[in-house]
Structure 1
């Protein structure tokens, strides 16, 4: 029974314990393959390409295989796929979740994106929907023939992709869009194409495109229940606010999905939270205190809207950019205690921000993780896409 007498109370210490085990951060909970990491976390932020590899490497028992194994999963076996998902953001998902993600979050966004493209083209006096459909079919056929291709390569087969139109004419943000840029984005949200192998290294943001793996069309409500259940099993307990923020859905969709999976209410310091059915029992088995260096936009650091239980408010200004994107963070036993950056010479520099420090044991463990990270990143230089005050300072 919880403190109020009707639901179980789950405190901060227990939530941090769950986080260490279920997010694959505690030493004994680390994974052997990238697929295990992605399966446990449901989604890896893919807006910054380096984040995917750094998030995986932080959770592998042998981080030395991070790059090769993650590239195998993404581009060889295609057991992981980079595609648009929640909140109109690019993520990396296990391939068996593509249909669920597409139905639960992609369909509504896709309809808005295609309508917006057609509206912008019409305002600019560009060709109509029938013309766009013809170009789309031709581009997809070219992509099937090529296997993977950049927008420029596809335009060699379908020259109409190079055509341009003025966007927001007369506005302060007026610009020129190329058909290929907007169309490939729409096709990505619609689940017809996905990002393929990058042109450069694992830190490159220039991607080829590939035809999306085939998947069945699912009922929207059923897909939302599956996705929410998968996430809540890893990240629960979570508040309704957390769930609405992470999914990007309407609150009515969140509540319907909670009811569908039989989620159970628990009491948190923030108020009512939810766990999957049967997850109100004893906490996960205790683990030894652990340290981790997580990248900017890591799915754990960005996993909840209400973050005070693992990230003190006074630490946010140096660790977040002006748009709310988290930078590289240093963790000790379930909470953020500082940040890190890579210097030009490759050194991983870190700083504890917690008043009074974290003690010798924690500092030794953090230093070990910094050496572990520097060891597998090697000569590669990683600069976060969204830079934060502390990261800039440490990078020097």
Structure 2
């Protein structure tokens, strides 16, 4: 039977691999990065590959060797073009039925709408232009759906379907939360539901079927379909669920030391939100995750466990850093923090003016 420590060590081997070289190769090696907080790609790469610079990540985005857009679960992800092609397929499988139900459209109508959006976005478009295009299409083909498209998630209909990528509307401030523009993503080929499951296991495994379903936004039935197209190994996990993995998975590893992880890091968001015990205790998870708005504090990783959080608020090039560790966990040592701070400074092109360290009772 696998323990939570077994699962953590196996996942750390995928999320903290040997450095493959370029930013694009690093992103591809770890599969995908949840980046609705735009700086998360910069911070996440710095935590995994210290020395990654702000200029390197910005250049990779600008050249298209890594791309960012709204995909699985309707969230923003960064990936290599090959992996993004798979994320787009996961989005089609997982989100299109949801959009069809919400709008009262038949499957064929929804597919026609997405095709029209992708044709319209052959050049960069603003969210307002995409919204106007969707409204015009619905007015001509399904006027009864206009009201649903104007409220709630319907407002994001033009760009949250996995077929577009985004970039900053002005300049190259890829780490900022400025207004984006969108264009059609040119897929690298076809992808299948088995490719979706394979991508998850290669980046995050071993995983339960519920983990794959939560991460991908697909149903358990779709996950089973994907598994049927793969050769996998199975073992019982500490929660009674069956955990699956690829037979050529890398050997497990330890991860001593301190890392400053980004908001929505894969060590948490790669797994079922109800069962993330491999990296964090339930009580610590409740402190990090805000159920009211879905936001997640940037985690502090110590010896492969999430044991606190950190803040470097603001947009100034010079700013202080606050680090909090949870009571009854190991206090980060000064030298360990120095290395983590240096990695953060290089990735965000900032100077940390001072570091304050405090203990948080949970």
Match of 2:193 in 1: 224
Q: Distance in 2 between matches of 1:371 and 1:255?
A: 43
Match of 1:373 in 2: 344
Q: How many residues align?
A: 336
**Kindly tell me: are residues 263 and 157 of structure 1, through their superposed partners in 2, closer, same or farther at Cα, counting changes over 3 Å?**
closer
Q: Which secondary structure does the structure 1 equivalent of 2:296 belong to?
A: coil
- Structure 2: stretches of 5+ with no match in the other structure: 353-358
Listed one character per residue, the Cα deviations across residues 203-258 of structure 1 (whole Å, up to 9, x for unaligned) are 1241122232144444xxxx111121122123222122212211222112212222
Match of 1:385 in 2: none
Match of 2:269 in 1: 302
Shift in Å, 1:301: 2.4
| Alignment pair present for 1:364 and 2:335 | yes
Q: Distance in 2 between matches of 1:288 and 1:56?
A: 15
Q: Quick check: 1:35–1:73 contact (8 Å CA) kept in 2?
A: yes
Residue 240 (structure 1) aligned to one of 209, 231, 235: 209
Q: Quick check: 2:71–2:88 contact (8 Å CA) kept in 1?
A: yes
Q: Quick check: 2:135–2:146 contact (8 Å CA) kept in 1?
A: no
Q: Distance in 1 between matches of 2:45 and 2:334?
A: 23
| Alignment pair present for 1:53 and 2:22 | no
Q: Distance in 1 between matches of 2:183 and 2:351?
A: 26
Listed one character per residue, the Cα deviations across residues 290-342 of structure 1 (whole Å, up to 9, x for unaligned) are 32100111122212121112101221233111245421011112110111001
Shift in Å, 1:158: 12
Q: Distance in 2 between matches of 1:155 and 1:242?
A: 33
| Alignment pair present for 1:20 and 2:7 | no
Q: Quick check: 1:166–1:176 contact (8 Å CA) kept in 2?
A: no
| Alignment pair present for 1:339 and 2:309 | yes
Q: Distance in 1 between matches of 2:238 and 2:181?
A: 46
| Alignment pair present for 1:79 and 2:68 | no
Q: Distance in 1 between matches of 2:74 and 2:331?
A: 41
Match of 2:158 in 1: 184
With structure 2 as the length reference, what TM-score do the two structures score? 0.76
**Kindly tell me: are residues 205 and 52 of structure 1, through their superposed partners in 2, closer, same or farther at Cα, counting changes over 3 Å?**
farther
Q: Which secondary structure does the structure 2 equivalent of 1:300 belong to?
A: helix
Match of 2:166 in 1: 195
Shift in Å, 1:107: 4.7
- Structure 1: stretches of 5+ with no match in the other structure: 1-8, 120-128, 382-392
Q: Distance in 2 between matches of 1:88 and 1:157?
A: 20
Of 311-320 and 328-337, deviating more is 311-320
Residue 210 (structure 1) aligned to one of 173, 180, 183: 183
Q: Distance in 2 between matches of 1:294 and 1:208?
A: 27
Q: Distance in 2 between matches of 1:235 and 1:254?
A: 15
Listed one character per residue, the Cα deviations across residues 150-170 of structure 1 (whole Å, up to 9, x for unaligned) are 346789999979x9x99997x
Q: Quick check: 2:131–2:155 contact (8 Å CA) kept in 1?
A: no
With structure 1 as the length reference, what TM-score do the two structures score? 0.71
Match of 1:150 in 2: 126
Q: Quick check: 1:30–1:61 contact (8 Å CA) kept in 2?
A: no
Match of 2:289 in 1: 320
Query: Greater CA radius of gyration, 1 or 2?
Result: 1
Listed one character per residue, the Cα deviations across residues 4-32 of structure 1 (whole Å, up to 9, x for unaligned) are xxxxx33333333333332127xxx3454
**Kindly tell me: are residues 249 and 16 of structure 1, through their superposed partners in 2, closer, same or farther at Cα, counting changes over 3 Å?**
same
Q: Which secondary structure does the structure 2 equivalent of 1:37 belong to?
A: helix
Listed one character per residue, the Cα deviations across residues 102-154 of structure 1 (whole Å, up to 9, x for unaligned) are 333325523653675587xxxxxxxxx8xx97xx86x867754xx43434678
